[in-house]
Chains A and B, each alone.
Chain A
């Protein structure tokens, strides 16, 4: 093992300013990722998942968002202090991102083949013919016949478009792929096809991936590591088995209880009561204390840190000391 991780996010803090209000979107997120691994970033709407991914690529809206502190070490290099020129050569080439909505990610006036070709030519100095050949090969890789190179996006269905988007993202063989809910807009059977394909390609290209999702099922299917996000911070981190077999944070436990059990009987669901705190005015203590069935006085006053539970498993909860985990 080298002395530094492949990707390490340290104490990332991001704020948005809107109408004189400060929205604390990411509040000290830290995690790391090894080469070839897939990390699942799980959480609900507004947990800050997408903001974390956009911070890594430095594509946050300039005016509204500001990165307050933190480091994003990519192969030991801090991306937050890298030059814009360096970032341009990284984006798409070494780190690529797939967005949720394939409909808006493609330019409707250009053929899909050309869009992949363009992505390749942007970062490579190869002959046009070679670029085109590679674009065609990419289409085949994602399961679209190369004869459809000259088709336009509107001639494709949602699942096919997402395949094209994935082909574009993988065209330059990036070392890291950020996938932001890549299958949420797709039907289940198509989602299954796309996930299968992504898994295969990941193995083939040795790509590391951050999979942003709200669906614990997808996490179980594709991820090695899991980071559970809540109100802009990581509340629990561990291997997929750690999180699914032995969830420690009451929020993670609550998430599992909220899901209808596919195998069992019709028991009443146990939702997490209440809602995520307003990111404009976060509580002083644990962000989850309001909704936590085990919260004590201490939880409401002191903000817990992410601490080692066992092995790689980390949790941000005092319950470990009190021995009160769900």
Chain B
């Protein structure tokens, strides 16, 4: 197995005036080269923090992150400098992720300038090439971000992320702010790039239809923890965790005749500050019992299908 990323027991706890906020709480997963790991969850579940922690844009509280076999949480400055380029990020809001005072060309060139590896001429060639790759016309190269539409802005963000030829990209809701017809263009672009450049993606989103489409494996997060993780098709055809089921049944399906069983969660997401031991979904879960109040363990109910729910684990072990 050619593993590019392995994360083990990763924790990120923010100290707030109200207590400890468990943004990422004991998360472990791995990603194979050239594959896509989807990370799904609602706002406040810690998925964005997870992405940024993996990239070391946020320092983790504890846990280990191995990238290409090298531990990056406590590696030397030199090693990190070399690895940094291999890990990039694409953001959700194509407006806030581009400096409004820089022209398109300068935005794409910036990483190359900082890297200082290419001569001025080579840099010029490289920027040209990047613009070609992501489909930005030459005529807008000196435009400013506000003069462009969301789709083009996102292409610029992608070009910038590709500039240093990374091996792994965290895509943080890259299409959530776009209209559907443009969204499809960007998804196709990301998938083409993956094939062409053997990229590995960590695709963070709240949109299940998109994540199903693009991911090989999907991880569902709730309040900083992974509640279920399985290959994409398996997760959609056999969701086990009540949260995953609720999430799936909540997506409005664009079909005039769809009739589905509706599983609705009670109330709203609870606070991630000083969470109680036990299942974090319990207050909202219709199946919650006393067993849910004690600490939960993750179980592999089928090969590669992991669930963090005592009830589901119990039921499925009976079935297997």
Contact = CB atoms under 8 A, between A and B. Distances in A.
Query: Does chain A touch chain B in the assembled complex, meaning CB atoms less than 8 Å apart?
Result: yes
Contacts of A214: 179-180
Interface in A266-314: 266, 268-273, 275
A269 B213 contact: yes
Contacts of A245: 256-257
Contact of B258 (A219, A220, A256): A220
Interface string A206-224: 0000000011111111000
B212 A262 contact: yes
B149 to A, nearest CB: 6
B186 to A, nearest CB: 9
Contacts of A160: 268
Nearest to A218: B252
A269 B210 CA distance: 11
B209 interface: yes
Given A214-B180, A255-B180, A268-B188, A240 B256 contact: yes
B255 A244 contact: yes
A45 B149 CA distance: 10
Nearest to A291: B181
A287 B4 CA distance: 47
Contacts of B182: 44, 271, 275
A157 B253 contact: no
Contacts of A157: 268-269
Contacts of A216: 180, 254
Contacts of A125: none
A244 B255 CA distance: 6
Contacts, number: 115
Interface residues of B, number: 40
Contacts of A217: 251-254
A187 B206 contact: yes
A76 interface: no
A171 B15 CA distance: 42
Interface stretch (B23-31, B80-88, B123-131, B242-250): B242-250
Contacts of B253: 217, 220-221, 262
B43 interface: yes
Interface of B: 42-43, 149-151, 179-185, 187-188, 191, 206, 208-210, 212-214, 236, 246-247, 249-258, 262, 264-265, 268-269
Interface of A: 44-45, 157, 159-160, 187-193, 195-196, 214-221, 240-241, 243-245, 254-262, 266, 268-273, 275
